């Protein structure tokens, strides 16, 4: 109490040799409105850590740069290693204590555990974290505020398992912001099932080699709901860079997609499940190999109302012309 924050190593030795989940949960539960600080070391857990969303019970988890929370090899839960707002849900931004989250350090899912979920609350933050060896990095659940989760995620690096079901970010709650993120070794970089979200400077990279036969299903950004904004988002080497579900529109500005190898049979910059109804401005597309199909726009239906406004692309490698009917402004061939 003299320090006004809780240092985990005053109670727990961070040597990674035993399961400390129950002890960590006890510290969380018994220290409301405190910062729980994790010094360098490894903290092995076999079950989810749940932080309260209620303003009079909330805590913030802060990890030093080399502090690692690692999932035990016997992990069996389908929930995340850290469930922010995983207990005592509350929909309140006026009370002191409604702001809480996790910052810094490393979360290692050991190839089996989801890293972080936001389950309730409205001022939740995830900042400056390195996430490794996970089937899913960050999961924003349906929010407590009539579906809105109103969370802010920034400066997060995610490394997946490379398996066909691996996913960097899954967004089910509404009205969140995501900035400055690097995501790799996943088959889908970002999957958005809700609206009102802003993505800025998000860079998913496909590197999986073990499951090459599944490559054509890989997606950089999968938008399943309207009213989402993508600014300077960079899909790197995914078969489908930007993908919209049937009936969905979005705004994509200053985005980039790039392929550095001839992996797969087709590289598609923008794919619409039915009609193309999005606004895409100032997109930069760089195809690599003339021996495969290089597609700017792939649609099932041809009567969409979307727009490509200004486009940079190596035109000599493009194998489709569908995008030209939607082009407004300038096309620069490189």
Q: Residue 250: its pLDDT value, please?
A: 96
Reduce the DSSP state of residue 313 to 3 states and report it. strand
Tell me what pLDDT residue 36 has.
97
pLDDT the model gives residue 178: 98
Confidence of residue 9 (pLDDT cuts 50, 70, 90): very high
Contact 230, 258 (CB under 8 A): no
Element (H, E) at 27: helix 21-29
pLDDT in tens, 59-108: 999 999 999 999 999 999 999 999 999 999 999 999 999 999 999 999 99
Q: How far apart are CA 156 and CA 181, in angstroms?
A: 5
pLDDT score recorded for residue 68: 98
State residue 63's pLDDT score. Answer: 98
Using alpha carbons, select from 1, 123, 106 the residue that is nearest to residue 63.
Answer: 106
Q: Which pLDDT belongs to residue 211?
A: 86
Compute the mean pLDDT over every residue in the chain, rounded to the nearest whole number: 95
Residue 37 has pLDDT above 80, yes or no: yes
Instruction: Report how far residue 85's alpha carbon sits from residue 211's, in angstroms, rounded to the nearest whole number.
Output: 35
- Helices H / strands E in the chain, number of each: 1, 30
**Mean pLDDT for the stretch of residues 266-279:** 96
pLDDT score recorded for residue 1 = 55
Flag whether pLDDT at 3 surpasses 90: no
Distant-in-sequence, close-in-space partners of 76: CB < 8 Å, separation ≥ 6 = none
* 333 confidence band (pLDDT: 50, 70, 90): very high
**Stretch (H or E) spanning 24:** helix 21-29
Which residue's structure tokens are 């392929």?
A: 259
Looking at the chain, the whole-number percentage of residues with pLDDT higher than 90 is 92
Token pair 């010094």 in the structure block, residue:
39
pLDDT by residue (tens digit) across 21-32? 999 999 999 999
Rounded mean pLDDT, 235-256:
96
Residue 45 reports pLDDT greater than 60: yes
pLDDT digits (tens, 9 = 90+) for 292-326: 999 999 998 888 999 999 999 999 999 988 999 99
pLDDT tens digit string along 156-182?
A: 999 999 999 999 999 999 999 999 999
Per-residue pLDDT reduced to its tens digit, 185-238? 999 999 999 999 999 999 999 998 888 889 999 999 999 998 999 999 999 999
Q: For residue 2, what pLDDT band results from cuts at 50, 70 and 90?
A: low
Does the pLDDT of residue 16 top 90, yes or no?
Answer: yes
């Amino acid at each position: 109490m003299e320090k006004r924050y809780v240092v985990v190593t005053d109670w727990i030795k961070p040597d990674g040799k035993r399961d400390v989940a129950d002890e960590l949960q006890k510290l969380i539960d018994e220290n409301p409105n405190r910062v729980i600080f994790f010094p360098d070391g490894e903290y092995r857990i076999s079950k989810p850590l749940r932080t309260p969303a209620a303003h009079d019970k909330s805590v913030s988890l802060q990890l030093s740069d080399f502090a690692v929370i690692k999932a035990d090899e016997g992990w069996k839960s389908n929930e995340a290693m850290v469930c922010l707002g995983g207990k005592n849900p509350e929909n309140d931004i006026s009370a002191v204590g409604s702001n809480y989250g996790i910052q810094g350090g490393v979360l290692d899912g050991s190839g089996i555990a989801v890293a972080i979920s936001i389950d309730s609350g409205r001022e939740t933050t995830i900042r400056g974290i390195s996430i490794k060896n996970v089937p899913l990095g960050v999961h924003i659940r349906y929010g407590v505020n009539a579906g809105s989760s109103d969370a802010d995620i920034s400066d997060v690096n995610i490394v997946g398992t490379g398996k066909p079901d691996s996913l960097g970010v899954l967004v089910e709650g509404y009205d969140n912001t995501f900035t400055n993120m690097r995501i790799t070794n996943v088959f889908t970089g970002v999957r958005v099932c809700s609206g009102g979200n802003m993505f800025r400077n998000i860079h998913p990279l496909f590197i999986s080699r073990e499951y090459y036969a599944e490559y054509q299903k890989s997606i950089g950004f999968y938008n399943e709901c309207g009213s989402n904004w993508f600014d300077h988002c960079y899909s790197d080497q995914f078969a489908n860079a930007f993908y919209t579900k049937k009936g969905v529109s979005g705004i994509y500005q200053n985005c980039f997609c790039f392929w550095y190898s001839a992996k797969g049979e087709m590289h598609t910059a923008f794919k619409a499940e039915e009609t193309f109804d999005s606004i895409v401005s100032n997109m930069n597309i760089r195809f690599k190999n003339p021996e495969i199909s290089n597609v700017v726009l792939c649609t099932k239906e041809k009567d969409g109302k979307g727009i490509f406004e200004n486009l940079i692309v190596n035109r000599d490698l493009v194998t489709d012309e569908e995008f030209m009917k939607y082009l407004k402004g300038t096309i620069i061939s490189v």
